Structures are given as structure tokens and as C-alpha cells.
Structure 1
């Protein structure tokens, strides 16, 4: 309790000091040329939401177990509120962000209590004077996938099933190189595990991860990320190999699309062969105007062996998802969103008013403000 109180007081203090600190930073760096400018910047983000699950019983206060964002049902709550301080100079950088909200409550439940409030904490140094080559270490947001916990940066209000069940954050050390023309980004990292700050008990590790991203133009991004390691104790001998592929296509200012595909394998603990899970997703967004955008999503997640999402049913987790959201930019830093979503499963896995159901229907709204 003392730790939580201390964290809350620190957040309040930072919020009160933001204007003064921002002004001090701006004043102290105003005369420094932009090429060598160094200083501290502070940013913040708050997303409040309300989700109504039409399928679940009235007494149910949580959304399905495989979801970690916008988790609370039929109540106004905060998905994510964070304050971030970032230091940058020509060859050194550091980030520290603290968080509260239901996202942190559910997605960080396996971490040590104090670390559950750490969204990001890392330091980096540029290894070359002439090349964009950085070494960073600490806790950082995951490079795996095209979605993050910060909803305003995602095309849909809620996250895809594949995003909810792959790493949102990673801890370890990473080496990142970006070519001079900005078209290629190469990343290699040594990690404590599959979305783990503290290494899993009984796992000697480490895990490895890579990223290859290619941007031939402003209208196309191609990405391949991998994870090699395990999320099981060494005694089970279940190495994991995971691939994340996606393409972001922006042919014009009106219509854009994201095509994603995840596939992973865990070796079977007994005998030969591997358990396989996979998930394709397609998102199409249409810009009605600068202030209004509409996005639709179709996705499928197949985990028949329950490696990532265990159901205990004959067919395992085999679920389609459909969603449609409308975004309205109230102000440059204020975004209102509403989204309807339907899940359709092979087996009856969703809690309902009359037992278990094969479908789940919900409506989510959110108001996000960044500063």
C-alpha cells in the first residue's frame, strides 16, 4: 500500500510540475542548434472508456479472459494513464514512463507489484558518430506487432486478438540500426522472456528477438519480427519460435489498410512435433475528413492446443472477430471513439446470461487526451 501511495503522489507531483518543467526545458535549449539539441521533454496520455458487453450476465464486471485492454464491463474506467519523461541528446537517450489503469492492472499481473506501474524505463547510447546505430537497455515497448497499448496510435479502438496475446512490452537489451535513407530498420535483442520484466522462475534463458522493417515509400511499410526462446520452465523443454508479419498500405489519403499475420510454435513437452497457433487480421480505414475516420476489422485466431489461450473445449480457441469503429478528432490532442465488436467461436466459450455462448457482442466508447 505504501508503494502505491508513493507512486500516486509522484504522478500528481509530475502532473503539477509539467508546465514549469516544459518551460524550463524550452528556455534552456532555445539557443542550441537543432542538430545537437539536448533536453528533457514531458508528455502524458489518459484514455477513459466505457464497455457494454451485451452477452455477459449483468453481474459480470470483466470482459473475456484473453483481453487485457478495455477489460472492465459496464463501468466507466481508465484504460491507460501515463506520464513520460524523455531525455535526448546527439548520442544519449533515456525514457521513463509510469502508468495506472486497467491495462496495467491486468496485463502486468504477473510482475512484481512495484514494476506493474512501469510502462517504460530504458537508457540508450548511439554507438557510431556517423551511423544511426543505437544500443538500448531496460524496459521498453515491444517492437512486435503494429498495435500498442496507446489506443490513439492504433487504427481501431480496441486491440486485435493477436495483439492482446503477444508482447506489449519487453525487457532486456536491443541493438537498432536504421539506414541513412530511413528505408530499412534492423533490430536484434536479448530479452528476459516473452513479455516479462522479471525472468520466469525455472527458465534460464535468455530469449532472442529480431525485427526487419522496410519502407520503400511513405505509402508502404513491410515488417517481419521474431521471438526465439520460451515461456515455460527449462524442465518442460518447450522452446518457442514466433513470427509476426504485417504490411501497412497507404495508397492515398482516403483509404489505407493493414494486413497482419502471426504464427508461433511451442515444442510438445512429450514426444516429437510442435503445437502451432496462428492469427490473420485485416483492417481497412477510410478518412471521411481530417476529423472523422472509419475503420473495419476482420480477424481470426486459431489456438486449438491452448498454448496461448486455453479454453478446455474440444476445438480449443478458434474464434473470428469483426469490428467497426468511428473516430472523431475533437481537438488535435482529444479523440473520441466508438466501436462495435462481435466474436464468433467454434465452441461455446463466452459467459452469457444462459450459460456459455459461441458469440459475444460488445460496444466500447473512449475519450483520449494527450499532452
Structure 2
């Protein structure tokens, strides 16, 4: 109950503070841009996993985490403050995505924080931000309404959604943006060792239609009481908008690290291709094909002889009755080298997911 009270109190303060600031601005700064902004979103879903997991928790995912029940995937409320010199964000969240993705955080109250960061402008186009930040890695983002397809690719589910540390962002030009990061680790808020991790990212938009992005990560992922396990990770994606109706994106990941049970090095890799076509102002169709190979079980442990070597394909249909609302239906199939999908009918090497969702942002 104490955590529920803390959530409600924090949400109340966010709303009250933002509303008060906006009222003050409207009275005395009509011509100036308001520094406070309040936003949020709700993503509710029903998912049916044909492997029928016994405890209803779906394996190898954080999105649409629960089988055969209506539930909240992700709900968040966010307050932003921004001027030409300083900025800050505080966002709280809950849902089965949080239950799955923040399970390793030992502090239950910390799990409720989606973002908590502050930044200062160091020069033209140069910002230094510190705190709990969105990940600099990957094409797909956390909130489903911002992505072409409801569920996330395997590569998105198995790389960071969030990071904790300091980030230097430099807009080198109107086409090139660079990021340099010092982090606690690979998607964690509370530190697990004395080492710090490093990250780098560069985004290049030569035209308004094309975006190219390269991001990397280096860090020790082992706790202090064990030998170091240094992780090297690379992510590259490209996105192209052919027209206001059709867009295409592809992404490739590669990682390398010492194995958990020896000093030998292993690796994993993943690839994804997706496309979306807008049939009309309210209807859209999207598809995704992908493969994830973690034979050495560095990221995904299956306890099987060939590890996680899995391909997946998705077909997604959208209906948007309003600009900030999506009703989505997705069918997603999986095919694995080993029998890794466990349920009440045994263990299979393939699986099928059907999911529908309502998502709204404000």
C-alpha cells in the first residue's frame, strides 16, 4: 500500500505542478513558450499465446507479457520542463511491461520510474543530461503507438529500453547528431558492480526521408564478486520514408562477451526488416521478419543444446479513429532450432501469438 500511495501522491504533484505552471504562464507570459508540458499514455491489451504458458507469463518478451487475460501493458504520466538553458523530465509508469522488464531492480519503488533526468545546455546544440534516460540503442521505442508494429522485435526486447548515467548530446549539424554516454550498466538503475560502462551513438539524416544510425556499448556485466565479463555491442539501423503512405526500416545487432561459465568469448547477432503501408487516413498494414541468434546463451538462457536461435514474423493491422489513438491487431509466429516454448501441452519449437490492443497518448 505504501508504494501505491507514493505513486498516487507523485502523480498528483505532477499534475498540480504542471497545471499551476501553465496557469501562471498564461497569465503573465502569453507570448512566451510555456516551459512545462504534461503528457502520458495508456496501452491495454489482450494476448493469446498458443504455447499456453502455465503461469501465464510469456517467455522471451516484456511486451504483451501475460497470456489469455486483459491487462495494462504500459501506462505512464510524464512531466517535462524545458527552457533554452536547462531541461528536466520525470515520468512514472506501471503495467505488465514494467513487471517483466524491471524485475531485476531490487528496489520496488525504483521500478516505478520510467525517466528521471535533468540537463544543462553547454553550448549551441550541446546538452549534458544525467539520470534515468531512454536508451540510445535501437530502432523501436518503448511505447507501442510510436512503432509500426504492436509487439517489439526480439532484438529490441533484448537490448536496453532505458539507461542510467550521463549523456552528452551534440548536434554537429542539421544532419548529424552524436551521443557520448557513461552508464551504470546494461539496462539497470541500481549499480551491480564498481565499473562504469560507455556508449556512443551517431545519427545521420542526409535527407528528410532517410535516417542512418549507429550505436554501441561497452561494459563489464559481472557482479564485483566474480571475474569481469566485458560486453561489446553494436547496433545499426536505417529507415526510409518513401511517401506519406509507405516506410521501410532495417536493423542489425552484433554483440560479444566472455561466457558466463568460462573466460572464452561468445557472440550473438540479430537482424530485422519491417515495412508499413498506410491504406487510408485511418487504416494501416505492417509486417516484420527477423532472426535472433544467441547460441552461446549470453543474453537469452534457454538451457537447450543450441541456445536461442529463433526466427519470427509478424503481421499488424491498425485502425486509428483519432490521431492519438490506435486499435491494433497482430499475429506473430515463431520458429526455433530447439524446443524452447514451454506450456501446458509440452515444449515446442514453434509458437503463435495473437494480440489486440488499444493505445492512447495525450
TM (norm. structure 1) is: 0.92
Query: Distance between the aligned counterparts of 1:179 and 1:293, measured in 2?
Result: 35
Query: Distance between the aligned counterparts of 2:258 and 2:37, measured in 1?
Result: 45
Query: Distance between the aligned counterparts of 2:81 and 2:349, measured in 1?
Result: 49
Q: What secondary structure is seen at the aligned counterpart in 1 of 2:221?
A: coil
The aligned counterpart of 2:211 is 221
Query: Distance between the aligned counterparts of 2:270 and 2:3, measured in 1?
Result: 39
Query: Distance between the aligned counterparts of 2:280 and 2:232, measured in 1?
Result: 42
Query: Please, which runs of 5 or more residues in structure 1 have no aligned partner?
Result: none
1:10-54 CA-to-partner distances (Å, cap 9, x unmatched) read 33565588766655544444222xxxx351110111111110112
Task: Give the direction of change, closer, same or farther, for the CA distance of 1:29–1:147 in structure 2 (3 Å limit).
Answer: farther
Query: Distance between the aligned counterparts of 1:49 and 1:204, measured in 2?
Result: 40
Task: Give the direction of change, closer, same or farther, for the CA distance of 1:136–1:20 in structure 2 (3 Å limit).
Answer: closer
User: Is 1:255–1:284's contact at 8 Å kept on the other side of the alignment?
Assistant: yes
Residue number among 312, 337, 345 corresponding to 1:354 in the alignment: 345
The aligned counterpart of 1:52 is 48
Q: What secondary structure is seen at the aligned counterpart in 2 of 1:167?
A: coil
Query: Distance between the aligned counterparts of 1:48 and 1:24, measured in 2?
Result: 35
User: Is 2:253–2:270's contact at 8 Å kept on the other side of the alignment?
Assistant: yes
The aligned counterpart of 1:253 is 244
Does residue 194 (structure 1) correspond to residue 186 (structure 2)? The answer is yes
Query: Distance between the aligned counterparts of 2:83 and 2:30, measured in 1?
Result: 14
1:175-215 CA-to-partner distances (Å, cap 9, x unmatched) read 001134x2001000100000011111xx2211000001100
The aligned counterpart of 1:63 is 58
1:46-99 CA-to-partner distances (Å, cap 9, x unmatched) read 111110112215x541211x2011101111111111111100101110000011
Task: Give the superposed CA RMSD.
Answer: 1.8
Query: Distance between the aligned counterparts of 1:91 and 1:331, measured in 2?
Result: 35
Query: Distance between the aligned counterparts of 2:277 and 2:83, measured in 1?
Result: 38
User: Is 2:115–2:133's contact at 8 Å kept on the other side of the alignment?
Assistant: yes
Query: Distance between the aligned counterparts of 2:27 and 2:252, measured in 1?
Result: 46
The aligned counterpart of 1:163 is 156
Query: Distance between the aligned counterparts of 1:137 and 1:324, measured in 2?
Result: 38
The aligned counterpart of 1:238 is 229
Query: Distance between the aligned counterparts of 1:25 and 1:56, measured in 2?
Result: 53
State the 1:334 CA deviation. Answer: 1.3
Query: Please, which runs of 5 or more residues in structure 2 have no aligned partner?
Result: none
Query: Distance between the aligned counterparts of 1:206 and 1:63, measured in 2?
Result: 32
The aligned counterpart of 2:80 is 86
Number of residue pairs matched?
A: 360
Task: Give the direction of change, closer, same or farther, for the CA distance of 1:230–1:27 in structure 2 (3 Å limit).
Answer: farther
Does residue 30 (structure 1) correspond to residue 30 (structure 2)? The answer is yes
State the 1:274 CA deviation. Answer: 1.5
TM (norm. structure 2) is: 0.94
Query: Distance between the aligned counterparts of 1:28 and 1:341, measured in 2?
Result: 53
Query: Distance between the aligned counterparts of 2:200 and 2:155, measured in 1?
Result: 18
Query: Distance between the aligned counterparts of 1:28 and 1:300, measured in 2?
Result: 56
1:242-281 correspondence runs (5 A): 242-268=233-259, 273-281=264-272
The aligned counterpart of 1:151 is 144
The aligned counterpart of 1:11 is 11
State the 1:267 CA deviation. Answer: 2.0
State the 1:161 CA deviation. Answer: 0.5
State the 1:160 CA deviation. Answer: 0.5
Q: Which deviates further from its counterpart, 14-23 or 245-254? A: 14-23
